[in-house]
Amino acid sequence: MKKCISLLSGALLGLSLLSPAAYAAPYTIKQGDTLWKIATANSITVQQLMKLNPSVSEMIYPGQIIQLPDDPNTYTVQPNDTFWKIADKFGISTLTLINANPQISNPDLLNVGDRLHIPAKPSNNPYGTFPLKPGTYKPYTNNYAESRTWSPNGEEIRAHEGVDIFADKGVPVYSVLDGTIINYGWNQYGGWRLTVKVDDSTAFYYAHLSGYAQGIKKGGTVKKGQLIGYVGSTGYGPEGTEGMFDTHLHFGIYKTNVSPWKTVDPYSYLTWWETQR
Ligand SMILES: [Zn+2]
């Protein structure tokens, strides 16, 4: 079960974000494609892909045309391309490009027409550090804005306000940037969570922690790269609830200069910070 919510501000995000009309681009299914491979290459989830293609079932076939989000950070492999050549072209490391494309099972075997996700430098806060160390987490996809149903009083559809990075319980979590802790302690959605204000208008949100690092407290400051807590599965209930979903770090970004706070898709930031090691 992979469910997760952070409803920090009470703001609900419009699901029209993934409206097919605004973002769709056609793609022809080729031999060996799966919905997961296609979704991952385009940094969306299978659920989001199905939403863009209501008439497509799980059975896809070569030659079939489906709609994909028109993502400027997607690159289609050309003859004689290698991971090294493509990474060089976009000014990122080969390893970063490989890590951003878990759907390619053998990096030595790129096929013409394969689609790759290219991490791109965000316009603000580009110099963060990824919140988890290399090798401690699983490949992740963009599940921002997916629908989530858990609520304290039963089922209620809302949009996922962050990206989930799956990792084992106890994996250390580090602060992405310098900042001030403005929320600390239990939240019925996010469990043991931390909200860190990193500039005049931005806060980062770390949720479902199994515990906090020593010295972490409300009003305290943290430095970029500082240990702040540990991955867990807390939340979705009264204080102490855990195990309602697989252990992961939920990471969110909020614009705090509006009321209620507005969520920002953190995926492009996360994939970029991975390149900053
Ligand atoms: Zn989440």
Q: What are 157's two structure tokens?
A: 């559809």
Domain spans of the chain, in order of start: 162-265
Write the pLDDT tens digit of every residue in 179-217: 999 999 999 999 999 999 999 999 999 999 999 999 999
> What residue has token string 């199905």?
50
- Distance, CA of 6 to chain centre: 13
Residues with CB under 5 A from ligand 1 (ion): 4, 162, 164, 250
- Residue 275 phi, psi (nearest 5): -80, -10
Distance 145 CA to ligand 1 centre (A): 10
pLDDT for the residue numbered 230: 98
The topology under which CATH files domain 162-265 is Glucose Permease (Domain IIA) (2.70.70)
Output the CA 3–ligand 1 centroid distance in Å: 7
Whether 6 shows a pLDDT value over 50: the answer reads no
pLDDT band, residue 225 (cuts 50/70/90): very high
CA of 159 to the centre of ligand 1 (A): 10
How many angstroms separate the alpha carbon of residue 52 from the centre of ligand 1? 21
Q: Give the residues across from 232 on adjacent strands.
A: 248
- Transcribe 2-52 into DSSP letters: ------SSSPPPPGGGG-HHHHEEEEE--TT--HHHHHHHTT--HHHHHHH
Place of tokens 């208008």: 201
| Residues 88, 95: Cα–Cα separation, whole Å | 11
